[in-house]
A and B are shown apart, each in its own frame.
Chain A
């Protein structure tokens, strides 16, 4: 396990709300290897974004709090670091890009200045050298006329360009891990294709590991080596991308895959998952998916199964999958 870049074990995140403390993420564990792209998929409220924020220790506290578990980067538990040590990790060893690039860029400074500052913060270089690096990275992410664009303000750029700038800023210190939280959700599909292509290319060039948070299974299929499927604050399935799409083991994953319409073929009617995600205050006692599960048995309503290895490629949190039964509907 020592060669893993990132080891997350039994991560638990709770939130204070008006009606008491709720657990948004309950015992999430996963590992990420050097140069790997791991996808976390799930619907809103499943805890995927909260998980990614907590890796950077950027969870707004209060109301959020990491209430248990370990986050190890190269064997060092990030949760035990001081805020000062953590600042050195952020933007250096781990960096992050968000869904809406406009909110993560400061509107009153030029693009160039913001990237310069990211460099100066973590590298001992002169201002002139920093600017040279900035121009270089802007070129690398496919920004035309980088010298001029560096002098522009964020609002002067299109959404796709801004996301390129964000990626440039995230990669300028050559992080070992890039966390991308819905990086293309706000973008049009032709621009999304450009950005995904860029991320893929940069990953191969730099060997950076990517943690890709998304709700879009198409994006996962195009980008990821391995996938975690989250539901209601827990990982319900973990598998290689090929195995997950070819042979999903958890009924939730099955339902999710069935319910997406395809651009390349037409179905008369989409099979859908009945009901909606349980609220954090009213979690079912047994398996969290049991109330919506078309194949749930009595046991599912009483006991929440653990995430266990079911095949070489696959882990699933499902009684049926563990008993070798078919999770398919």
Chain B
């Protein structure tokens, strides 16, 4: 016994005091990406504006001022004013909260539901899996925006219903990716080892499969937020989402459309806001994907 009691091979374990956890490695890789860091900055700023935007906006976003209609950007009105004389800067600022809230809520909701079905369908397989996948196929058969419009048509216009509509069409996407990841993980020996030691199914799903899929979900989640915001804006643009005078970017874009030649700033600033937000989330998603340790997900 004497020989095996000695701790062996200390040479290959790094002598650093700290433990090289997967999380630390992720941070190290992420910080190497310049564009990703910029995107992270943009997203952080947006989240900050979401919290404090209304407090720092110089004007009431819904209060008309008929003395200052369609003014071009100036020192007083940074982004100019719209056809009711409302300060566009204040409206864009307040719109951040709405757009981000819609994007985050719908995507998180969709991801949560998608992960549940994806994990269980992938793990249990069989008839249940078939049923879930056919349901996904049905949802996939509709182009995304059409599905959202159909849901709005049933539920009626309004922001809460936009959230539901966008969430519903995110669900099948998350089911697919989580199920795919689960199928790959399920064949790993450590899952078999977990079964062999006597873990229950729910423990295997929760402790082994869920943490394994979370990294991929995080990437898609981030990227989906950008497109969810875009879809929500499109719905509002079509008059099915936020109703006037709510300062929603899509709705603002829609009302500015009539003055595109005479007063382009009315449509331009909410449009830019959508662009920057989508770009920010997409680039962040890209950077997350690159930073994720392939050795872990493989």
Question: A and B touching (C-beta < 8 Å)?
Answer: yes
Residue ranges of A at the interface with B (Cβ–Cβ < 8 Å): 272, 274-279, 282, 291
Contact B12 A276 (CB under 8 A): yes
B197 located at the interface, meaning its Cβ lies under 8 Å from any Cβ of chain A in the complex: no
Residues of B within 8 A of A276 (CB): 8-9, 11-12
B189 located at the interface, meaning its Cβ lies under 8 Å from any Cβ of chain A in the complex: no
Contact B12 A274 (CB under 8 A): no
Closest residue of chain A to B29 (Cβ to Cβ) is A18
Contact B6 A274 (CB under 8 A): yes
Shortest distance between the CB of B64 and any CB in chain A (Å): 59
Contact A274 B11 (CB under 8 A): no
Shortest distance between the CB of A255 and any CB in chain B (Å): 13
B74 located at the interface, meaning its Cβ lies under 8 Å from any Cβ of chain A in the complex: no
B261 located at the interface, meaning its Cβ lies under 8 Å from any Cβ of chain A in the complex: no
Total number of residue pairs linking A and B with CB closer than 8 Å: 22
Docked Cα-Cα span, A146 to B247, in Å, equals 77
B18 located at the interface, meaning its Cβ lies under 8 Å from any Cβ of chain A in the complex: no
Shortest distance between the CB of B208 and any CB in chain A (Å): 27
Docked Cα-Cα span, A250 to B8, in Å, equals 22
Contact A272 B11 (CB under 8 A): no
Residues of B within 8 A of A272 (CB): 3
Contact A291 B3 (CB under 8 A): no
Docked Cα-Cα span, A278 to B12, in Å, equals 6
Interface hub of B9, B10, B15 (most chain A Cβ within 10 A): B9
Shortest distance between the CB of A316 and any CB in chain B (Å): 23
Residues of B within 8 A of A278 (CB): 11-12
- Which B residues between 88 and 120 are near A, CB-CB below 8 angstroms? none
Contact B8 A282 (CB under 8 A): no
Shortest distance between the CB of B106 and any CB in chain A (Å): 38
Docked Cα-Cα span, A279 to B6, in Å, equals 19
Shortest distance between the CB of B27 and any CB in chain A (Å): 14
The list of the 4 closest CB pairs from A to B, nearest first, reads A276-B9, A278-B11, A279-B12, A275-B9
Contact A279 B8 (CB under 8 A): no
Interface hub of B3, B6, B10, B11 (most chain A Cβ within 10 A): B11
Closest residue of chain B to A279 (Cβ to Cβ) is B12
Contact B11 A291 (CB under 8 A): yes
Shortest distance between the CB of A45 and any CB in chain B (Å): 10
Task: Add 15 more A-B contacts to A274-B3, A276-B11, A282-B12 (CB < 8 A).
Answer: A272-B3, A274-B6, A275-B8, A275-B9, A275-B10, A275-B11, A276-B8, A277-B11, A277-B12, A278-B11, A278-B12, A279-B11, A279-B12, A282-B15, A291-B11
Shortest distance between the CB of A300 and any CB in chain B (Å): 16
- Which B residues between 1 and 58 are near A, CB-CB below 8 angstroms? 3, 6, 8-12, 15
Shortest distance between the CB of B235 and any CB in chain A (Å): 46
Residues of B within 8 A of A279 (CB): 11-12
Residues of B within 8 A of A275 (CB): 8-11
Closest residue of chain B to A272 (Cβ to Cβ) is B3
Docked Cα-Cα span, A279 to B11, in Å, equals 7
Docked Cα-Cα span, A274 to B5, in Å, equals 11
Residues of A within 8 A of B11 (CB): 275-279, 282, 291
Residues of B within 8 A of A291 (CB): 11
Docked Cα-Cα span, A275 to B13, in Å, equals 12
